[in-house]
Amino acid sequence: MPATRRRSGRFDGSRVGRGAGVGRVLRPHDRYAAFRTRRVVVKARLIKLADRGLKGAQVHLRYLQRDGVTREGLPGDLYDAEHDRANGPAFLERCDGDRHQFRFIVSAEDAIEYDDLKAFTRRLMRQMGEDLGTRLDWVAVDHYNTGHPHTHVVLRGKDEQGKDLIIAREYLRYGMRERAAEIVTLDLGPRTDRQIEARLRAEVEQERFTSLDRRLLREADPARIVRSGTVAGDAFSQTLRAGRLQKLKRLGLAEEIAPSRWHLVADLEPVLRRMGERGDIIKAIHQELAGKGRPPLMPDVAIYNPAGPKPERLVGRVIRRGLSDELNDRHYLIVDGVDGRAHYVDIGKADAVEPIPEDAVVAVEPKPIALRRVDRTVTEIAAANQGRYSVDIHLRHDPSATASFAETHVRRLEAMRRARVGVERQPDGTWIVGADHLERAAAYERVQARMTPVLVETLSMLPLDRQVQADGVTWLDHELVAEKSTAVTNRGFGREVHEALARRRQWLIEHDLAHAENDQVVYRANVLGLLRRRELLRAGAQLSGELGLDYVEAQPGRRIEGVYRRRVDLASGRFAFIERGREFTLVPWRSVLERNLGKHVFGIARGETISWTLGRERKGRGIS
């Protein structure tokens, strides 16, 4: 007889809160229950608003209503139980003071059959309110920007009495999903046995974690031994089981140790899930390449692994930026590499990498996981002061330090505290720092690396064909004059780079910036500086005519001072427009300037960089 799962007597909290009984009742029981109803995937997340207050909730609502999520490519409409256009600010005002909120993604497998998901979502949330015994306060946005239409729901963490809304994990895991499936099944009708059996047959050969695998694991004994012929009187299920075990054997995930007795590997589920994810990624890459008019049998595809034993620098062209996990806001890039392969790159949170246009040339590297100097400084000062740190303690310990410099250490400690890695702040602002602070800082860096696994540098905003004729410094120019250029293969995008480099050499020769000598190309001294200056003079003259201001060139070693007005994108890179009186200058841009738009800044020009000091009266260390 197959092993049965008994509930442990150990308390796990899954039944604490509203809806526990309903969730338990709605758990599937008959053999086809999981397939009889229409399949709905529900992803749930509890967000503690105390961590970021309403700011995080406000950002999330803006994100849900971003451009391009409707069928027409328009911004999403926020709605609620009664209004097709809900009042977002009013909802956020009601959330003020809430301890937490719930965020759901509801994705019905057959959602494409609905012309509008609003009615479905309202019925689901009304049924949830009945199950939980309280009126629910929520808003939602429907998204049609992926292959599967789905709904994002934001639910307040308060019941109608104003008390914290606690929903049992058992309801979140089973109840909500089954209620949604009931509604879709009622609308579209249940699946027939024939439809269910056809789906199960298809699972036998799939290289992903399937319902057949889940059943095998559920019926395996503690030694992970399972029988292939244990389904008495059910020839169909026995055939499925035998076929799936043979497939797992070919994948190296199962071994027949005796007739009808099989051993399953310990990591069966995670391996199959990774295989499924890889298959989805490869499919997505080929779809994007086909959409770009590329040959279907393109290049090898690869998944960039920043945590690999020898992660290399990836250089290539951006094919697409997409969303891999909407609930956790994780994004990816598909990069057409100079190595002739198409790469899938997990870039982490949306704000970790600034917007990059398609066809731009980028370089991707693993985010370094290393202790920072501030961590060592905090550890040193705390060790000399009974495990305590503050701005005042820092200044007493190091009289040469400034208050603004010490505050950077406080910001680091505050970030670690929010990540719950073991630093403690006292009511008077003093920090308790343990002797193992460096280990905790390293753990924090590892957490940050998982959230933002790579660094993406934009080498050129211009596509290759525009770089060839650009009257400014391009990535191609840097490659031509570099002592050690990027290794480029002669296939795919690599071949295009080879051709573009040859055409760019010819353009430089035609414009007297290079000449051929003994079968070699010799470039003029400081050719990059000449190209950059030519473009800046041209851009400065154009802006001067448009704005009625005089353009003044930035001189190395000179003081740059004025109001930062905006960013200017040129072939040579990004430049900051600094206005002073009736004059302006263009200097290398840094992202930190965006927080000081319209404010007074000053700095010192140092070659191709600027050492900035932000704010007229601010003293202390600059940003270079």
Question: Three-state secondary structure along 493-523?
Answer: HHHHHHHHHHHHHHHHHHCCCEEEECCEEEE
Which CATH class, in words, describes the domain spanning 373-451? mainly alpha
User: Quick count: other Cβ atoms within 10 Å of Cβ 276?
Assistant: 15
**Cβ contacts of residue 552 below 8 Å, gap of 6+?**
583, 584, 585
Other C-beta atoms lying within 10 Å of the C-beta of residue 403: 12
Pick 262 or 33 by higher pLDDT.
Answer: 262
* Cβ-based neighbours of 101, under 8 Å, separated by 6 or more: 46, 47, 49, 57, 95, 154, 155, 156, 157
State both tokens at 43: 């992803």
Long-range contacts of 215-219 (CB under 8 A, 24+ apart): 215/241, 216/241, 216/244, 216/245, 216/264, 217/264, 217/268, 217/269, 218/3, 218/5, 219/2, 219/3
Res. 297 pLDDT band, cuts 50 70 90: very low
d(Cα 21, Cα 170) in Å, to the nearest integer? 8
* Residue 605, pLDDT above cutoff 90: no
pLDDT at 552 over 80: yes
5: tokens are 């799962």
Distance, in Å, from the CA atom of 495 to the CA atom of 337, rounded to the nearest integer, reads: 11
For 20-188, CATH gives: 3.30.930.30
Is residue 577 exposed (0-12), middle (13-18) or buried (19+ Cβ within 10 Å)? buried
How far is the C-alpha of 579 from the C-alpha of 564, rounded, in Å? 7
Report the candidate in 336, 306, 305 with the shortest Cα–Cα distance to residue 320.
Answer: 336
Closest CA to 117 of 44, 180, 190: 180
> Per-residue b/e over 58-70, b at no fewer than 16 CB within 10 Å?
eebbeebbeeebe
Q: At what angle do helices 235-250 and 193-203 cross, to 10 degrees?
A: 20
**pLDDT reported for residue 6:** 43
Closest CA to 304 of 337, 328, 271: 337
How far is Cα of residue 43 from the mean position of the Cα atoms in its chain? 17
Which amino acid is located at 339 in the chain?
D
Q: What is the mean pLDDT of residues 545-550?
A: 93
**Domain spans of the chain, in order of start:** 20-188, 194-266, 373-451, 529-614
Tokens, residue 334: 């598909």
pLDDT per residue over 132-151, tens digit each?
999 999 999 999 877 789 99
Q: Taking residues 545-549, what's their average pLDDT?
A: 93
584-588 long-range CB contacts below 8 Å, 24 or more apart? 584/540, 584/543, 584/544, 584/547, 584/549, 584/550, 584/551, 584/552, 585/551, 585/552, 585/553, 585/554, 585/560, 586/536, 586/539, 586/540, 586/551, 586/554, 587/554, 587/560
Compute CA distances 477 → 33, 536, 606, whole Å.
Answer: 63, 16, 22
Among 164-168, 285-289, 580-584, 593-597, which stretch is predicted with the lowest mean pLDDT?
285-289
Establish whether domains 20-188 and 194-266 are of one fold: no
The neighbouring-strand residues paired with 331 are 323, 348
Predicted TM-score of the model (pTM): 0.71
Across 251-278, average pLDDT: 90
Among candidate residues 85, 47, 183, the one with its CA nearest the CA of residue 125: 183
Average pLDDT, the chain: 85
Give bridge partners of residue 334 from the DSSP assignment. 320, 344
If one counts every other C-beta atom within 10 angstroms of the C-beta of residue 495, the result is 14
List the CATH code of the domain at 194-266: 1.10.10
Q: How confident is the model at residue 313 (pLDDT cuts 50, 70, 90)?
A: very high
Lowest mean pLDDT among 22-26, 400-404, 495-499: 22-26
pLDDT value of position 73? 81
H/E stretch holding 213 reads helix 211-219
Tokens of 509: 């020769």
What are the two backbone dihedrals, phi and then psi, of residue 578, each rounded to the nearest 5 degrees?
-110, 120
| pLDDT single digits (tens) 513-535 | 999 888 889 999 999 999 999 99
Residue 619, pLDDT score:
40
State pLDDT tens for residues 94-123.
998 899 999 999 999 888 889 899 999 999
Per-residue model confidence (pLDDT) at position 394? 94
CA distance 289 to 281: 12
Instruction: List the one residue out of 150, 149, 147, 145 whose CA is nearest residue 72.
Output: 145
Q: Could you tell me the two tokens for 384? A: 């000399």
CB 599 within 8 A of CB 564: yes
- How long is the chain? 624
Q: Residue 59 pLDDT > 90, yes or no?
A: no
Q: Is the dihedral of CA 345, 346, 350, 354 positive or negative?
A: negative
**Predicted confidence (pLDDT) at residue 298 exceeds the cutoff of 60:** no
Cα distances (angstroms) measured from residue 303 to each of 281, 306, 314, 358, 487: 8, 10, 11, 19, 19
For the cut 60, the answer to whether the pLDDT of residue 609 exceeds it is yes
Cα distance between residue 162 and residue 154, in whole Å: 17
Strand 583-588, strand 550-551: pairing: parallel
Instruction: Please tell me the distance from the alpha carbon of residue 448 to that of residue 436, in angstroms, as a whole number.
Output: 19
The predicted pLDDT at position 404 comes to 80
Instruction: Read off the amino acid at residue 559.
Output: R
Identify the bridge partners of residue 141 per DSSP, sorted by sequence position.
152
Phi then psi for residue 133, to 5 deg, are 75, 30
Query: To the nearest 10°, the Cα dihedral for 360, 332, 213, 252?
Result: 50
Which two structure tokens, joined as six digits, stand for 70? 């409707």
Cα separation, 332 vs 344, whole angstroms: 7
Distance (Å, rounded) from C-alpha 595 to C-alpha 484?
A: 36
Residue 551 above 90 pLDDT? yes
Question: How far apart are the C-alpha atoms of 201 and 239, rounded to whole Å?
Answer: 9
- The beta strand positions in 125-184, using DSSP E, are 138-143, 150-156
The type of residue at 607 is G
Lowest mean pLDDT among 21-30, 96-105, 179-188, 218-227: 21-30
Backbone angles phi, psi at 158, to 5 degrees: -130, 145
Mean pLDDT in residue range 402-422: 86
Q: Side by side, which strands form the sheet with 40-48?
A: 40-48, 100-108, 150-156, 138-143
Phi, psi of 40 (to 5 degrees): -135, 135
- The amino acid at residue 409 is H
Tokens of 103: 């965020």
